[in-house]
Amino acid sequence: MKRMKRSNEPIFWSLFGAGGVVASMVAPALVFITGLALPLGLLAPEALGYERMRALVGSLPGALLLFVVISLTLWHTMHRINHSLHDVGINAGLAGKVVFYGLAFVGTVATAYFLFVARR
């Protein structure tokens, strides 16, 4: 009897789950601060100014926080969009996995690289 091929779904589901926790706990506050409070003048422009952000990225906890938020949110959303394709009648199969998980992977590598550059 042929052995059943092991599914790789648990890996992607774990990343989806971890991303879901990060996205739901942190995203509302972060979106409000960077996208609304700052441009609308509820926070001083220097609050997220160049010097302060360089200091944030320069600290290890700050860089790790940004890396975790960006990469896990990407894995979370790409997993969900890939699975939603079926709901709207598109059966992308392996191609969908390659495209969406590929995007999440590229985004993760890019985040690590540019954080590294910004820390120098």
Helix axis angle, 50-58 to 94-119, nearest 10°:
100
Which of these segments, 1-9, 90-98, 104-112, binds other proteins (CB under 8 A)? Answer: 104-112
Q: How many residues bind other proteins (CB under 8 A)?
A: 51
One-letter identity of residue 10: P
Cα 67–chain centre separation: 8
Could you say whether residue 21 binds other proteins (CB under 8 A)?
yes
Q: Which of 84, 90, 98, 102 binds other proteins (CB under 8 A)?
A: 84
Could you say whether residue 53 binds other proteins (CB under 8 A)?
yes
- If phi > 0 it is left, if psi is from -120 to 50 it is alpha, else beta; for residue 5 that is beta
Cα 6–chain centre separation: 26
Could you say whether residue 55 binds other proteins (CB under 8 A)?
no
- The two tokens of residue 109 are 């590598």
Could you say whether residue 27 binds other proteins (CB under 8 A)?
yes
- If phi > 0 it is left, if psi is from -120 to 50 it is alpha, else beta; for residue 41 that is left
Q: Which of 8, 24, 64, 92 binds other proteins (CB under 8 A)?
A: 24
Which residues here bind other proteins, judged by CB under 8 A? 17, 20-21, 23-40, 43-45, 47-50, 53-54, 57, 66, 69-70, 73-74, 76-78, 80-81, 84, 87, 89, 107, 110-111, 114-115, 117-118
